[in-house]
């Protein structure tokens, strides 16, 4: 059973940066994709950034140019570097993992993932 543990959330001012981490309980293997999702109160969970085992990355339009997803295979850790944060980035952020498929890795559909972390809160004030 793969376990995911997020950390790094916090409260910041608009324009500041945060880096989220997601520790994975097993070694990164071939044929997977991992996605950062976020969910604000009263809103649906939305995909923010994804990365697959080959290093292919994909981003939601709302974060392109501001957020960077990366992974450290040696540390079994996924990261989300968030720059130029905006109040609308305020949400609970979750990492999710699943077997690779083009649609899973790029579709940002939370229903296609069955392995989730507990989430880490990001609050951006203006």
Tens of pLDDT, residue by residue over 75-123, are 999 999 999 999 999 999 999 999 989 899 999 999 999 999 999 999 9
Tell me the mean pLDDT in the region 1-14: 95
Per the CB < 8 A criterion, the answer to whether 119 and 93 are in contact is yes
Q: Quick one: pLDDT at residue 28?
A: 67
Q: Which residues are paired to 96 by β-bridges?
A: 35, 116
Question: 31 or 91: whose pLDDT is higher?
Answer: 91
4: left (phi over 0), alpha (psi -120 to 50) or beta: beta
For 1-126, where are the alpha helices, taking DSSP H only? 102-107
Q: Quick one: pLDDT at residue 111?
A: 96
Q: Quick one: pLDDT at residue 10?
A: 98
Q: Quick one: pLDDT at residue 26?
A: 79
Tell me the mean pLDDT in the region 28-35: 83
């Amino acid at each position: 059973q793969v376990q995911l543990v997020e950390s790094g959330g916090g409260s910041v001012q608009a324009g500041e940066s945060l880096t989220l981490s997601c520790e994975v309980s097993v070694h990164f293997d071939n044929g997977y994709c991992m996605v950062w999702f976020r969910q604000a109160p009263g809103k649906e969970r939305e995909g923010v950034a994804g990365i697959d085992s080959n290093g292919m990355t994909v981003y939601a339009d709302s974060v392109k140019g501001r957020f960077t997803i990366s992974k450290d295979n040696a540390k079994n850790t996924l990261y989300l570097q968030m720059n130029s944060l905006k109040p609308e980035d305020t949400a609970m952020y979750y990492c999710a993992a699943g077997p690779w498929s083009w649609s899973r890795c790029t579709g940002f559909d939370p229903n296609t993932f069955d392995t989730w972390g507990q989430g880490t809160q990001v609050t951006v004030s203006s």
